Structure formats: structure tokens, C-alpha cells
């Protein structure tokens, strides 16, 4: 190999390396997105197989924040 061939080989290798560095993040992102999509699809399929949850027979008591908000909403300001 002469000097011109070695320089061409180094140039092609550098160009290929830069190309790989530019494309690698996109490929990693695509692979990650496909994995997430597959997990979402599997979760939806699993959710369809599970029967609907029955409500509890026990009565629920509203929290203090709910009670306070309801009291505030019911008071109307009347301007004369």
C-alpha cells in the first residue's frame, strides 16, 4: 500500500466513524421506543383480560380537603 491508499483508508474510516456517531442516537431511540410500545401493548392486553374491579361495600368518607372544598363551594357571596 502506498501513502495515497493509506490516506484514503484513514479518510473512509473516519467518515464511517462520524456517520456511525451521528446515526447511533437515532437507532438507540428507535429501539427504546419500540420496547416501550411493546410494553404498553402487553399492559393493555393484560388489562383487557382482568375482570372489572367491584366496588367496595364499605362506605367511603370524604377527606378533610374534600369536606373543606365542598363547604367553600356552597357559600355564595351576594352583593347588595
How does DSSP classify residue 9? H
Reported as a single tens digit per residue, the pLDDT across 67-78 is: 566 666 555 555
Residue 42 lies in a domain: yes
Q: In whole angstroms, what is the distance from residue 55 CA to residue 37 CA?
A: 31
**Residue 38 belongs to domain spanning:** 23-48
40 located within any domain: yes
- Residue 14 inside a domain? The answer is no
Cell numbers given for 51: 375482570
Q: Could you say which DSSP state residue 79 is in?
A: -
11 within some domain: no
Count: domains in the chain: 1
| 59 vs 50, higher pLDDT | 50
pLDDT digit string (tens) for 24-52? Answer: 999 999 999 999 999 999 999 988 887 76
Residue 31 lies in a domain: yes
Amino acid at each position: 500500500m502506498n501513502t495515497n491508499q493509506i490516506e484514503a483508508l484513514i479518510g473512509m474510516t473516519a467518515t464511517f466513524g462520524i456517520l456511525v456517531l451521528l446515526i447511533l442516537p437515532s437507532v438507540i431511540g428507535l429501539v427504546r421506543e419500540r420496547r416501550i410500545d411493546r410494553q404498553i401493548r402487553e399492559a393493555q392486553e393484560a388489562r383487557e383480560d382482568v375482570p372489572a374491579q367491584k366496588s367496595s361495600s364499605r362506605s367511603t368518607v370524604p377527606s378533610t380537603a374534600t369536606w373543606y372544598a365542598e363547604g367553600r363551594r356552597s357559600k355564595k357571596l351576594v352583593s347588595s
